[in-house]
A and B are shown apart, each in its own frame.
Chain A
Amino acid sequence: MADAPAKPFSIRRQTGFGFIALCCFVLLYTPILILVFYSFNAGTSIAIWEGFSWRWYEAAWQNERVVDASITSLKVAISAAFLATVCATLAALATTRTAPYRGITAIYAAINQPLMVPEIVTAVALLIFFAMIKVYTGYQGLAYLIIAHTAFCIPFAYLPIRARLENMDLSLEQAAADLYASPWQTFRHVTLPLMAPGILAGAMLAFVISLDDVVITEFVKSGGQDTLPTYMLGQLRRIITPEINAISTVFLGISVAVVTVFFLLNRKGGSSS
């Protein structure tokens, strides 16, 4: 028994690390899985299983406030993702593939500023600022939410677009210019198609980030402008039924799908260059 060790010595192994890693993944996923699981509960409890049913999905679907909030969420997320992606694409073109110029650090800092300031701070600052504007203009619409979301989505959209541009072979655009493409044609036929995966990835990140936001939305929204997350936040103070689980599950599904596509896109983009 003594001559062959049960496990050969491994340079990389550290005792117990595998177990903690396992615990980490369990910790990360168990609560989410429990939440998803009870969304299919036939009973009203979120802890006692009473059989499988779609009833809470139906209830959510028929709940007018949920539907309204979903529509608001989508309106805001789509508009903000679009605007943020346009801004971020232009900003990425402005800040990559150049020798440092005066002010470029300031541009970086400004673009990443929403990432650095705690959300609650931005949220109350926007509350103050938009309250002033509301008093002057009387306008109460969705534009406040959209512009606030656009601002904090810009850095998220910017990151993948910038990464894509920086990995792009400069000689491709020179080759286009060499082959009689004007600057605009070069952009349209070479730069833009090559940037496209980055732009798409950026748009998807911006969309998910906008869709997920609670804090800034909670402070900026006017009456009747609940998004799905702020609606849910309001509901958490009451007695909770699996309806919230059902809404969450759909929400999670969308996020996971978008992020998965994002990762696949990024991997493909990475391997081609």
Chain B
Amino acid sequence: MTDTAAASRKSGTSGAQAGVEARRADVRNRWLLASPALTVIFFAALGPLLIMLVYSFLQKGSYGGVVWSFSLDGWFNVFLKRDIFDDTLGFADGHLSIFWRSLKLSFGTTVLALLIGFPTAYYIATRPANLRPVFLFLITIPFWTNLLIRTFAIMEVIRNEGVVNTLLMSLGVISSPIQMLYTDFAIMLGMVYVYLPLMVLPLYASMERLDFRLVEAGYDLYATRLGVLRRIIVPMVKPGIIAGSILVFVPSLGAYVTPRVLGGGKNMMLGNLIELQFGQGRNWPLGAALSITLLVVVMVALLFYVRNASKSGVKSHG
């Protein structure tokens, strides 16, 4: 009864006002609930990026670290280098070739993954509905297992004393092992291997919703199999193709473990170049500048992805 009495008194205030207050309290509570996650992410993900941005504008210390005075050297050194002898500026050929290799390998990886992933996703999407989850599960399992272990598995297969070379030599096809490990080929193979699920999953998502009555209509209007594929299926699953390609391209560009293990020390990609600056290179501002460059490229690609996804309604995570 006391509750009711209290409410009677309270009802003197306007209901609309009470509604606004309740809404405000709700939003405040929601921010409170989100705050632990936001705090952790700010301290261990977002905040450090800002500090790194600052570091990219500082002078490098002689033994790693930084000297706290403003300098654009870090950013200059991303593309340019100062000749030690005559102090003239030239392009940093080493960096440029690594940039180029990173782009080339990431692009190659994306294309290869698409060539394998598209038919695979299509095949899964055309299986009976009760089998599809099984196939999908088989695609997802490697994705959740350790990337290092998967890279290591590839390494075992292609190394000089590995399964492929041993097998070929014992069959007498070759007399000395083919050098596959520590080549660009190895890096690309490894990246296709580890990122393939990222291609298949979004492709499958868009193919699963494919309306096969349209395919029927295509055949009805005298299209060949190839014609149906080219003119009906591919255009309709284009959002999936874009999504899958970006999801493969982005981590390839930032890959660190795969090129380190399969490329050896020589065949570096961007990730390894960045690491080098924090290790032997001892040029933290350059490392920071390189990281931010990579981040910006990736963000642009992701922005494209988000726009594509929101336009077509493709969900990135299943």
Contact = CB atoms under 8 A, between A and B. Distances in A.
A36 to B, nearest CB: 9
A134 to B, nearest CB: 12
A208 B123 contact: no
Contact of A107 (B34, B126, B253, B299): B34
B257 A215 contact: yes
A154 B212 contact: no
A124 B275 contact: yes
B147 interface: yes
Interface in A1-44: 11-18, 20-21, 23-25, 27-32, 34-35, 38
A34 B153 contact: yes
A32 B150 contact: yes
Interface stretch (A50-58, A125-133, A170-178): A125-133
Given A34-B157, A107-B38, A120 B148 contact: no
B251 interface: yes
Contact of B256 (A46, A88, A120): A120
A259 B140 CA distance: 9
Nearest to A258: B144
B126 A113 contact: no
B262 to A, nearest CB: 10
Contact of A24 (B26, B116, B212): B116
A265 to B, nearest CB: 13
B288 A31 contact: no
Interface in B249-307: 250-251, 253-254, 256-257, 260-261, 270-271, 274-275, 278, 284, 287-288, 291-292, 294-295, 298-299, 302
Nearest to A147: B44
B221 interface: no
A89 to B, nearest CB: 9
B215 interface: yes
A154 B40 contact: yes
Interface stretch (B48-56, B86-94, B237-245): B48-56
A67 interface: no
A15 B302 CA distance: 34
B108 interface: no
B256 A215 contact: yes
Interface stretch (B14-22, B72-80, B160-168): B160-168
A31 B193 contact: yes
A116 interface: yes
Given A116-B302, A125-B51, A263-B137, A154 B41 contact: yes
A122 B253 contact: no
Given A117-B49, A117-B295, A129-B48, A124 B26 contact: no
Contacts of B65: 131
A45 B302 CA distance: 43
Contacts of B235: none
A154 B130 CA distance: 32
B209 interface: no
A252 interface: yes
A142 interface: no
Nearest to B216: A11
A118 interface: yes
B46 interface: yes
15 contacts: A14-B119, A14-B229, A21-B119, A21-B123, A25-B138, A46-B162, A90-B36, A113-B41, A118-B251, A120-B274, A121-B294, A123-B256, A125-B52, A128-B55, A150-B44
Given A94-B30, A121-B52, A212-B146, 20 more contacts: A14-B119, A24-B119, A47-B161, A48-B166, A90-B37, A91-B38, A95-B30, A118-B298, A121-B274, A124-B275, A132-B51, A151-B40, A151-B41, A212-B145, A229-B148, A233-B261, A240-B156, A255-B146, A256-B145, A260-B141
Interface of A: 11-18, 20-21, 23-25, 27-32, 34-35, 38, 45-48, 83-84, 86-88, 90-91, 93-95, 98, 101-104, 107, 110-111, 113-114, 116-129, 131-132, 147-148, 150-152, 154, 158-159, 205, 208, 211-212, 214-215, 219, 229, 232-233, 236, 240, 244-245, 248, 251-252, 255-256, 259-260, 263, 267
5 A-B pairs with least C-beta separation: A118-B254, A31-B153, A21-B123, A151-B44, A94-B33
